Structure 1
Amino acid sequence: MFLRPAVLSRSLCTKDLQHLPNDFLTKVTEERCRQILAKNPLPQKASAGVLVTLCISEGVPSFLYTLRSSKLKGRHKGDVSFPGGKCDSSDRDVIDTALREAQEELGITLSRSTVWGPMKPITDWTGMVIVPILANIGCLEDLAAKPNSEEVESLLTLQLSLACTSSIHGYTCFRQRGRYAYTLPVFQLPGHKVWGLTAMMTDSALSLLFPGTYRSVLTGSRTQ
Structure 2
Amino acid sequence: MYSFLYDKLSTVPRRRLEADGLKPAAVLLAISDAEQPEIILTQRSLNLSTHQGQVAFPGGKCDAEDQDEIATALREAHEEVALAPSQVKVVGQLGQVYSRHGFLVTPIIGVIAPASLLSLKANPDELDHVFTVPVAHLLEQKPAMRSVQMLPGYYQVPTFEYQGFTIWGMTAFVLAEFLNFVYDAGFPLQQKP
TM-score category, normalised to shorter length:
0.7 to 0.9
Map 1:62-141; keep pairs closer than 5 Å. Answer: 62-74=38-50, 76-111=51-86, 114-141=89-116
- In structure 1, the gaps of 5 or more residues are 1-25, 176-180
Q: For each residue in 1:54-73, what CA deviation from the matched residue of structure 2 results, as whole angstroms up to 9, or x when unmatched?
A: 1257x631111011122222
Shift of 1:36: 2.7
Question: Structure 2-normalised TM-score?
Answer: 0.82
**SS at 2:80's partner residue?**
helix
- Maintained 8 Å contact 1:108/1:143: no
User: Over the residues paired in the alignment, what is the CA RMSD in angstroms?
Assistant: 2.7
Higher RCO (C-alpha under 8 Å, 6+ residues apart) = 1
Instruction: Tell me the residue number matched to 2:186.
Output: 215
Q: 2: distance between equivalents of 1:93 and 1:153?
A: 27
The answer to whether structure 1 residue 185 and structure 2 residue 158 are counterparts is: yes
Residue 52 of structure 1 and its aligned partner are, at CA, apart by 1.0
Q: How many residues align?
A: 183
Change over 3 Å in CA distance of 1:95–1:141 after alignment to 2? closer
Q: Equivalent residue for 2:27?
A: 50
| Partner secondary structure for residue 171 of structure 2 | helix
Q: 1:202 aligns with which of 148, 172, 175?
A: 175
Identify if the C-alpha distance between structure 1 residues 141 and 49 changes in structure 2 by more than 3 Å, giving closer, same or farther.
closer
Matching residue's letter, 1:61: P
Q: Any runs of at least 4 consecutive aligned residues in structure 1 with deviations exceeding 4 A, and if so which?
A: 41-46, 140-143
1:149–1:56 Cα change, 3 Å: farther
How many Å separate the matches in 1 of 2:117 and 2:168? 28
| Contact preservation (8 Å) 2:146, 2:156 | yes
Can you list the C-alpha shifts for 1:100-141, whole angstroms capped at 9, x where unaligned?
A: 000000112124961111110001234421111111122145
One-letter code aligned to 2:25: A
Structure 1 residue 198 displacement after superposition: 0.6
Give the SS at the match of 2:180: helix
User: Structure 1 length normalisation: TM-score?
Assistant: 0.72
Q: CA deviation at 1:208?
A: 1.8
Structure 1 counterpart of 2:186, one-letter code = R
| Residues in 2 aligned to 1:146 and 1:174: alpha-carbon distance in whole angstroms | 32
1:187 to partner: Cα distance: 0.4
The CA distance in 2 between the partners of 1:136 and 1:82, in whole Å, is 14
Q: Which has the larger radius of gyration?
A: 1
Distance 2:36 2:91 in 1: 19
Match of 1:40 in 2: 14
TM-aligned CA distance change 1:154 to 1:125, over 3 Å: closer
* Cα distance in 2 between the residues matched to 1:114 and 1:42: 23
* Structure 2 CA distance for aligned equivalents of residues 40 and 55 of structure 1: 23
- The answer (yes or no) to whether the contact 2:87–2:112 under 8 Å persists in 1 is no
Distance in 2 between the 1:112 and 1:190 partners?
26
Q: Distance in 2 between matches of 1:190 and 1:171?
A: 16
Which residue is 2:151 aligned to?
A: none
- Structure 2 residues not aligned, in runs of 5+: 149-153
Q: How does 1:2-21 map to 2 (within 5 A)?
A: none
